[in-house]
């Protein structure tokens, strides 16, 4: 999904910075997008890593002068099953990647957008926040938190001409969805 988002932004002439916690994925995305004449750079960034978040921002500013659009597509579901059986470590991972990391990245980008007179932020959530499914309690709980974060940031940042939205797409054909379908 991230590659498709980057491609579409690039087709609209946005200068794109792609990131992933996996550098091989970053390199593949950059190679693919450059073949399509999209102006792109890639940076390894695990959204839960403070140094990598800061480096991501610094690289965007270095290559393109600033950040006008921040699209956060990070997400993880470390546990599928009954919530009562979910280990604490899975809760920590889900909320670190799905809520805390996006918030902290956003917090670092806000001053840059304010200096530029505004910008747009977009978070990727899930339809699971609206439609219950057995086994997805942890994932849905973290992503509904992201939706609430979005609404509060939107209210706080509107005066600075920074638009904040959240998209909740339906199921995408992935290994994760295959496992959910198997359980349900």
Positions marked catalytic: 139
SS3 content of the chain, % helix, strand, coil (to 5): 55, 15, 30
d(CA 9, CA 117): 20
Closest listed residue to residue 43, CA positions, set 33, 32, 29: 29
Would you give the end-to-end CA distance of the chain in angstroms? 24
Contact criterion met (CB below 8 Å) for 130 and 168 = yes
d(CA 9, CA 36): 12
């Amino acid at each position: 999904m991230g590659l498709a988002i980057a491609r579409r932004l690039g087709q609209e002439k946005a200068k794109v910075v792609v990131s992933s916690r996996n550098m091989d994925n970053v390199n593949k995305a950059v190679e693919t997008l450059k073949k399509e004449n999209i102006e792109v750079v890639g940076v390894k960034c695990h959204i839960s890593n403070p140094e990598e978040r800061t480096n991501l921002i610094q690289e965007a500013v270095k290559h393109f002068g600033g950040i006008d659009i921040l699209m956060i597509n990070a997400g993880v579901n470390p546990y599928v099953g009954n919530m009562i059986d979910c280990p604490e470590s899975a809760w920590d991972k889900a909320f670190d990647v799905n809520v805390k990391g996006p918030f902290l990245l956003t917090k670092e980008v806000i001053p840059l957008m304010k200096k530029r007179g505004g910008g747009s932020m977009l978070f990727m959530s899930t339809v699971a926040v609206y439609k219950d499914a057995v086994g997805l309690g942890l994932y849905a709980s973290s992503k509904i938190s992201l939706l609430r974060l979005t609404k509060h940031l939107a209210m706080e940042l509107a005066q600075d001409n920074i638009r904040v939205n959240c998209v909740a797409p339906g199921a995408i054909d992935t290994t994760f969805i295959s496992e959910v379908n198997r359980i349900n």
